[in-house]
Amino acid sequence: MDGTLVDSDASVERAWTLWAKEYDVDLGAVLAVAHGSPAARTIRRLLPALDDEEVAAATRRQHALQHEDLADVTAAPGAHPLLATLARLGLPWAVVTSADGRLARARLRAAAIDAPLLLTIDDVRAGKPDPEGYLEAARRLGVAPSACLVVEDSEPGLAAGRAAGMPVAALRGLPGDLSLPGLDRLADLLRRP
């Protein structure tokens, strides 16, 4: 969702910047690992000395900062044309995100995207890079994992797709089975006979 269908990078980075100041963590280290991973996993990685209760509190704070900041969240370039192409072709699709349900629904609303299936960190035991979310989405859509295409903009998401046995399309110059300069390119490829 974030960085793929929804342009929320500025919001995400503002929230992590405030969180890093509050928790006295180097911002560069935070931004190097924050995109694409569940907040709790990122916090455990950044502050390994915290106990479970402290991680939960730090995660709640990070979520609160993100829930409060939707000011410039929009659809990513090419998102709406891609979704229109999927609808025209009758292809099922889902959003699988490391965001919590409340934040995912708010960001999708801000981007005017109505996902037919939404799986968030609240719906799985393990977030990305674990493949559980993608495998559950395929199951619910009634599609074999090998017939799915994961579109991602982060290493944890790409790793999750690969671990699920799904081909991956990578954005932002990351390596994938298919490298995409943007979602409009994927829409063009899908429209080809």
Closest listed residue to residue 65, CA positions, set 14, 23, 100, 7: 14
> How many residues can be counted in the chain?
193
- Note the pLDDT of residue 154: 92
- Note the pLDDT of residue 148: 98
Q: Would you put residue 35 in left (φ > 0), alpha (ψ -120 to 50) or beta?
A: beta
Cα distances (angstroms) measured from residue 193 to each of 89, 184, 190: 11, 16, 8
Q: Delimit the domains of the chain by residue range.
A: 7-67, 74-191
Say which residue the tokens 């490298």 belong to: 179
User: Helix (H, G, I), strand (E, B), or coil: what is residue 18?
Assistant: helix
The reported pTM is 0.87
Residue-by-residue pLDDT tens, the chain, 193 positions:
999 999 998 999 999 999 999 999 999 999 998 887 889 989 999 999 999 999 999 999 999 999 989 989 999 999 999 999 999 999 999 999 999 999 999 999 999 999 999 999 999 999 999 999 999 999 999 999 999 999 999 999 999 999 999 999 999 999 999 999 999 999 999 998 7
Q: What CATH architecture does domain 74-191 belong to?
A: 3-Layer(aba) Sandwich (3.40)
- Note the pLDDT of residue 118: 98
